[in-house]
């Protein structure tokens, strides 16, 4: 008698609690997450822009979250996963960005450098740090 896996319909699977719940974020974290998700929603409809073009544009100076969302895929050499506004959990990329912003809040520069260096290609690290600082100020 052989055993085989059977797919169960989604409605029959037990609901799982989110791995990284949004409810665990501080008020500041939730506001930043909302700004990040809104920026990603707006940026999805735009054509691709390079990191250099994003950093040099006038619009990039006025909306730092949109600039960050537009340039990070190039900096990490892969698409970002940013959920819709109503999702109750965080993606790995969202958690990573929020953690970097928290490290700036606490002036933990060593941890910030580590978080950037682990995922961002060397030529883009300074630009990403500048955009994170702009998000911090905004």
Tens digit of pLDDT for each residue in 50-90? 777 666 665 445 678 888 888 888 889 988 899 988 888 89
pLDDT given for residue 1 in this prediction = 46
Which residues, 6+ apart, have CB-to-CB distance to 79 below 8 Å? 73
Task: Give the whole-number percent of the chain exceeding pLDDT 90.
Answer: 37
- The better pLDDT of the pair 7, 115 is held by 115
- The better pLDDT of the pair 97, 55 is held by 97
- The better pLDDT of the pair 121, 51 is held by 121
Environment class of residue 33 by beta-carbon count within 10 Å: exposed (0-12), middle (13-18) or buried (19+)? buried
- The better pLDDT of the pair 86, 111 is held by 111
Span 108-124, mean pLDDT?
Answer: 93
For the chain, list the strands marked E by DSSP: none
Residue 20 pLDDT greater than 80, yes or no: no
Identify the three-state secondary structure at position 3. coil
pTM value surpassing 0.85: no
Q: What is the 3-state secondary structure (H, E, C) of 74-108?
A: HHHCCCCCCCCCCCCECCHHHHHHHHHHHHHHCCC
Distance of CA 125 to the CA centre of its chain: 15
Residue 94: which pLDDT band, with cuts at 50, 70 and 90?
A: very high
Task: Give CA separation, 104 vs 8, 30, 58, 130, 138, in Å.
Answer: 44, 16, 24, 11, 13
Residue 50's CB is within 10 A of a number of other CB atoms, namely: 11
């Amino acid at each position: 008698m052989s055993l085989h896996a059977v797919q169960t319909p989604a409605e029959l699977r037990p609901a799982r609690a989110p791995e990284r719940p949004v409810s665990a974020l501080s008020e500041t974290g939730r506001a930043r997450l909302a700004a990040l998700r809104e920026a990603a929603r707006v940026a999805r409809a735009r054509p691709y822009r390079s990191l250099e073009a994003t950093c040099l544009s006038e619009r990039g100076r006025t909306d730092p979250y949109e600039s960050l969302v537009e340039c990070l895929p190039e900096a990490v050499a892969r698409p970002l996963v940013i959920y819709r506004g109503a999702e109750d959990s965080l993606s790995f990329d969202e958690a990573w960005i929020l953690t970097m912003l928290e490290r700036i809040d606490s002036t933990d520069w060593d941890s910030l450098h580590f978080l950037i260096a682990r995922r961002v290609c060397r030529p883009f690290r300074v630009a990403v740090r500048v955009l994170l600082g702009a998000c911090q100020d905004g």
